[in-house]
Structure 1
Amino acid sequence: MTTAKDIMHSGADWIPSHETLDRAAQLMRDLDVGALPIADVDERLTGILTDRDIVVGCVAMGHDPAQTTAAEMAHGTPRWIDAGADVDDVLHEMQEHQIRRLPVIENKRLVGMISEADLAQHLSDAQIAAWVERIYATG
């Protein structure tokens, strides 16, 4: 059985919820990633911050990224998957919620992220085709 841990990109980093978006953007640049999980003071997942969130939700709205926090951008219920979950569960979670990045949690700690690139490297062409059809569906 292929698990979430088998296909994830390990070494994902949190951004604390109190951190500003300019610092988040710098961290994304330094880590060469487009998304960061947002953590509260107890290191619990409170959301995901993407580079698009910073641009569209902050800069394009005329807000100052040096004054806007990651917590202000965390909306909705954060989605995640257990490290031991089967790859079919990973695909279902991403498809069901139409998300492209999924944090992987093990023993209540962030251990990695699964992105489209990770799926492409580890899944069959048929699995990828079905996932793309569902995740990018417009209706």
Structure 2
Amino acid sequence: MAEKVRELMTPHPVTLAPDASLAAAAKQMRAKDIGDVLVVGGDGRLRGIVTDRDIIVRVLAEERDVSSTTIGEICSPDLAVIGPDDDSDQAVQMMRQRAVRRIPVVDRGELVGVLSLGDMAIERDPRSALADISVAHENI
């Protein structure tokens, strides 16, 4: 039987407002050793997700102004979300269909976590290369 999403997700994901700077997002990613921040509006509504890859592809590669571009401008707004009581197999299927590595976890409209491929790898196959990478300390 598949685990529930709540058993695998990372609770209390890092969130920033849409008008936050790219630097603020990058600093949070570095400080928390994560690859994404969730974009949440003043109304508490999930607006999108920004990944480290988004910053590279949507800002640097397009030669956008790093100092004036906000995370709200580059976030992926069309998010797949999943509930904490959904089966992890459903999350895997959703990730495959949407070609994403992370899915926000929402309970009754409230953001409660984020589920990543790394989270699932650690639980499902702790000896896999992906699990090793997911728990490894950063290389500095």
Q: CA deviation at 1:78?
A: 1.3
Give unpaired runs (5+ residues) of structure 2: 127-140
Tell me what 1:21 maps to.
22
> Given the two structures, how large is their TM-score scaled by the length of structure 2?
0.81
CA distance in 1, matches of 2:95, 2:74: 20
Aligned counterparts, 1:34-113, within 5 A: 34-113=35-114
1:73-117 Cα deviation digits (max 9, x unpaired): 124511111111111211121111111011111232222111121
Q: Deviations over 1:33-91 (max 9, x none)?
A: 11111112212111110111112211222222221111111245111111111112111
Q: Quote the residue 1:7 is aligned against.
A: 8
Paired letter, 2:27? Q
**Unpaired runs of at least 5, structure 1:** 126-139
Answer yes or no: is the 8 Å Cα contact 2:82–2:105 preserved in 1.
Answer: yes
* TM-score (norm: length of structure 1): 0.81
Q: CA RMSD in A?
A: 1.7
Query: With CA pairs under 8 Å and 6+ residues apart, which has the higher RCO, 1 or 2?
Result: 1
How far, CA to CA, are the matches of 1:55 and 1:43 in structure 2? Answer: 27
Q: Secondary structure at the match of 2:121?
A: helix
**1:105, 1:76 → 2: CA distance?**
15
